[in-house]
Structure 1
Amino acid sequence: MNKQASTAMWTAGAVAAALLLGACGSDDDGSQDEIKGAGDNKPSKSAPASKSSAPPEPEDSEIKLAKDAKNIFEDAKTDDPRKREVLADNRRRINSIDRVVTTRKDTALVKKYSKGESLIAANKYILDAIKENQGWAGVTRYYDQKVELKSDTLAEVSFCADESKAKNKDLKSGELAPNHGGDVNYIFSKLILERNKDGVWQAMSGSETAKAEKCMD
């Protein structure tokens, strides 16, 4: 399986999907940040809750996936504190997306760590999972992480992902689909991240390649 947003998704054609998820994940009206079903847009009969009653946003260190899903990030070989900052926010970006896919919770975290084309790609991936009532289970390993600092606010990140131990999961039945992906499970990704005014490194564009020989260790 390929649980990451594919290169084909990084297009303006997914704008409508991005807007839809943005509506689902918005916390402007204080509503709970949880997807309870695709297409459920019925207005609430009760008065909107105040902002102070909204559930607190999870701390970055607490971005957890479903109990049967896990992302493992191998330590990058760098002592540069700025590079480690970039890698940490990229890790949070990946976990924020997979938290929504595996638990249907905390959609607002996605737009905290992604913007532009990257946000569009993430949103389409999430909405496709919702439409198919699909999540995933197992383990995905991230390794060979590298950072090139372009400026004080711009960085390029590249890394490999091994999805061979992850499987698609039907969230209604709990059934796991066999992973027959073979070499497709080995993915090389390259992203451009920009540091915003709040100090968060947000992915804004990128690409990925499946069957990446450089990732087959």
Structure 2
Amino acid sequence: MNKCTTGGVLAATIAAAMLLTACGGSDSKDSGDIKGVERSTPSKSDEASPSASADPGAPKFDFPKGVTVTNEVEPTGDPVKDKILRDLGYANEAIKLAYAKQDPDIPVFKEYLIGDAARGWRGGVLKFKDQGKGITGNVAFYKHDVRKVNGDLASVVYCEDQSHAYATRADTGKAIRTTPSADDFVEHGVTMQKGKDGTWRMLRTLDDRGAATCRR
């Protein structure tokens, strides 16, 4: 876990990571920890999750029944920032889908995660699989703030609500119950990088579990 003491520190760290990336550095602290899967009580819903977006050409996310991801994103009025947030949403859904399927080699994961972020999250998914766990419930992403756009790099800080998500034992499907706590709320700071095809991909990621700014 890579925890920072405040949202301001997290944002400053992400900004520094952007500069290092622009200069060819690789001194990042990506997050490979398991998140968004060991909280709360089961949801009553057993419906399969729909595709992430109605946008033409949007990737399809075939979540198992009972697994949903909500992206609470408001238009910014800036088409570049809106595209960054859209692709960030796809990256986050790809991460959760990889956990749900216990497979970091699914195409959508490889499409929207690169570099340190891909390596860190891949390790987390494989560790989760080795522990014999599955996931269910809902996670929500909200309070997105595109802090800086510098050429083909952008820094974004946002929150995740894991209070309605939990782990299951993959062999039985039985829920692993945990007590709800402040740790259900996580502040994320990511560096996104735009590729030659115009797609923004998650390059680096840090998080602050239990962040007061994300509690709701």
User: TM-score, structure 2 length as denominator?
Assistant: 0.70
The 2-side partners of 1:95 and 1:206 are apart by 15
Q: For 2:94, which of 93, 96, 102 is the aligned residue?
A: 96
Structure 1 partner of 2:43: none
Shift of 1:146: 1.2
Work out whether residues 76 and 146 of structure 1, in 8 Å CA contact, stay in contact via their aligned partners in 2: no
2:9 is aligned with 1:7: no
Work out whether residues 166 and 179 of structure 1, in 8 Å CA contact, stay in contact via their aligned partners in 2: no
The 1-side partners of 2:137 and 2:167 are apart by 9
Shift of 1:100: 1.8
Structure 2 partner of 1:151: 150
The 2-side partners of 1:75 and 1:115 are apart by 23
User: TM-score, structure 1 length as denominator?
Assistant: 0.70
Give the alignment's Cα RMSD to 1 decimal. 2.0
Worse overlay, 102-111 or 63-72: 102-111
Q: Any idea what the Cα deviations from partners look like across 1:54-97, whole Å, max 9, x if unmatched? A: xxxxx634123221111111122412111111111111111112
Structure number with greater Rg is 1
Work out whether residues 164 and 179 of structure 1, in 8 Å CA contact, stay in contact via their aligned partners in 2: no
Q: Any idea what the Cα deviations from partners look like across 1:143-172, whole Å, max 9, x if unmatched? A: 101113422311111110110110111121
Structure 2 partner of 1:127: 126
The 2-side partners of 1:144 and 1:120 are apart by 26
Structure 1 partner of 2:60: 62
Shift of 1:111: 2.2
Q: For 1:82, which of 80, 102, 116 is the aligned residue?
A: 80
Structure 1 partner of 2:40: none
Structure 2 partner of 1:188: 187
The 2-side partners of 1:62 and 1:109 are apart by 8
Worse overlay, 184-193 or 144-153: 144-153
Structure 1 stretches lacking a partner, 5+ long: 1-5, 15-58
Structure 2 partner of 1:197: 196
